[in-house]
């Protein structure tokens, strides 16, 4: 018979100490935890396999064929839950900055404007000394998959001015696109040598 003053394990009826809060002896509690861990791991594996099977169906990506899906713009292999690669998602019309004036990495203040280079500040100062009215980045042009914002606009001659220290390949391509799409717009590119010849710098 069991002594009513003693406590017993609810699984194996082995006598346990009164300090045990779980109602089981250590061996039974360890077995229970081990069984629970196995069940939890199996459930997690099953959940992971279910997610993998859903991914393999290509539900999220319309460009899915077999294996890994591909970017709908450039065809590069990407993650299952994405439609575009990280590059295509941040460039062109997919960019959150599309159509907006570029952010200033270098902040050089001239009057109420924040300019991006010392050449631009020098040119703005040169225009003020000559008494020529000007506007800074007044308009952004849509080039299809990208946009272009000229540095200065001179209303008297209806001309856009672009100040360039470096003329990279992407800048050349953007300029060609601008000239093809907006042939009526007048634009002049001023390099360092041009600014020296004008006496700007």
2-36 pLDDT per residue, tens = 566 677 777 777 777 765 656 777 777 777 776 66
How far, in Å, CA of 177 to CA of 51, rounded?
45
Q: Residue 45 corresponds to which tokens in the numbers above?
A: 């594996």
Would you say residue 37 has pLDDT above 70?
Answer: no
With 0.75 as the threshold, say if the pTM is over it: no
pLDDT value, residue 22: 64
Pick the CATH number of 108-198 from 3.40.50.300, 3.30.479.10, 2.40.50.140, 3.40.960.10: 3.40.960.10
For 102, other C-beta atoms within 10 Å of its C-beta total: 12
The answer to whether the beta carbons of residues 116 and 136 sit under 8 Å apart is no
**Residue 59 predicted with pLDDT over 50:** no
Q: Which residues of 117-134 are buried (b: 16+ CB within 10 A; e: fewer)?
A: bebbbbbbebbeeeeeeb
Contact present, 147 and 141 (Cβ < 8 Å): yes
Ramachandran region, residue 69 (left: φ > 0; alpha: ψ -120 to 50; beta: rest): beta
Confidence of residue 58 (pLDDT cuts 50, 70, 90): very low
Instruction: Kindly report which listed range (42-51, 169-178, 187-196) carries the lowest average pLDDT score.
Output: 42-51
Per-residue pLDDT tens over the stretch 62-119? 555 556 677 777 777 776 666 777 667 666 666 655 555 555 556 788 888 888 888 9
């Amino acid at each position: 018979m069991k002594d009513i003053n003693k406590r017993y394990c609810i699984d194996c009826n082995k006598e346990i100490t009164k300090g045990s809060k779980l109602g089981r002896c250590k061996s039974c509690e360890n077995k229970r935890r081990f069984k629970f861990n196995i069940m939890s791991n199996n459930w997690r594996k099953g959940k992971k396999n279910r997610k993998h099977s859903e991914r393999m169906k290509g539900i999220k990506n319309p460009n899915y064929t077999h294996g890994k899906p591909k970017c709908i713009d450039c065809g590069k292999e990407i993650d299952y839950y994405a439609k575009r690669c990280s590059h295509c998602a941040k460039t062109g019309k997919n960019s959150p900055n599309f159509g907006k004036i570029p952010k200033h990495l270098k902040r050089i203040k001239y009057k109420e404007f924040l300019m991006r280079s010392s050449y631009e500040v020098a040119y703005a100062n040169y225009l003020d000394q000559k008494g020529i009215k000007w506007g800074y980045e007044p308009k952004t042009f849509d080039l299809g998959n990208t946009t272009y914002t000229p540095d200065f606009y001179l209303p008297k001659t209806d001309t856009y001015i672009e100040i360039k220290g470096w003329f990279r390949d992407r800048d050349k391509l953007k300029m060609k696109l601008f000239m093809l799409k907006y042939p009526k717009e007048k634009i002049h590119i001023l390099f360092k040598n041009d600014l020296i010849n004008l006496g700007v710098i």
